[in-house]
Amino acid sequence: MKEEQYLEDLKEIKDIMNRSSRFISLSGWSGVFAGLFALGGAYAAYHTVYTNQDYLGLRSAVITKESLLTLLAIALLTLLLSIGAGVFFTTREAKKKQQNIWDHQTKRLLSALAIPLVTGGILCFILLSKGYVGIVAPLTLVFYGLALVNASKFTLSEIKSLGLIEIAIGLLALNYIGYGLLFWSIGFGILHIIYGVMMQMKYRS
């Protein structure tokens, strides 16, 4: 009986230490909705780039100044919707676990995410302005993956695995520039949905 109580106390201490050192209120639904928004954004981007072309013939990407602005608007809307879903579901999860949503761990997590993401965003914007459109989608995957790996030490360990896969998909996409949007859909869309479902099943309360 004493041994069982001792093990239970150790488990409780471990849980307390884990909560104090990591942000563990991430919701799987955030990943699912981020993936759905990404797929919707990729669909809209596809029809922007390949507009008014024969589906059965040879297709070429059409990037004009107007279509580039449309693509940037689609990307921004997709990002805002994904962030909104993340904030909503993460806040709800934190309330369930009676955790403070804005604390030291949250700040450390966001800082770790922001540095690679902002760097990658600025680089991609510069490349777009120079006309290097083809490598932007792969690079967004690479820098996003780096951001996840960098932030993984402050949150759930599965984030690191997701980040490494995103990096691998981004590097693979660099070898197939013409299929960047497809790889982008897989990385930001399908992979997020799979990750979200797995996390929801594993950590649901």
Please give the pLDDT value at position 134: 82
Least confident among 25-29, 53-57, 164-168: 53-57
CA 90 to chain centre: 14
Q: Which two tokens stand for residue 16?
A: 């307390």
Percent of the residues in the chain that have a pLDDT greater than 70, as a whole number = 75
Identify the three-state secondary structure at position 134.
coil
DSSP secondary structure string, 111-133? Answer: HHHHHHHHHHHHHHHHHHHTT--
Q: How far apart are CA 158 and CA 152, in angstroms?
A: 8
pLDDT for 13 beyond 50: no
Q: How far apart are CA 107 and CA 105, in angstroms?
A: 5
Please give the pLDDT value at position 55: 47
**If 0-12 CB within 10 Å is exposed, 13-18 middle and 19+ buried, where does residue 55 land?**
exposed
Identify the three-state secondary structure at position 60.
coil
Q: Is pLDDT larger for residue 136 or for residue 89?
A: 136
Confidence of residue 37 (pLDDT cuts 50, 70, 90): very high
Please give the pLDDT value at position 16: 43
Least confident among 21-25, 164-168, 172-176, 187-191: 21-25
Please give the pLDDT value at position 125: 84
Q: Is pLDDT larger for residue 101 or for residue 140?
A: 140
Write out pLDDT tens, residues 1-11.
555 555 554 55
Length of the chain: 205
CA distances from 93 to 16, 82, 151, 191 (A): 17, 16, 19, 21
CA 152 to chain centre: 12
Write out pLDDT tens, residues 64-115.
677 778 878 888 888 888 888 877 887 877 777 666 666 677 778 788 888 9
pLDDT for 30 beyond 70: yes
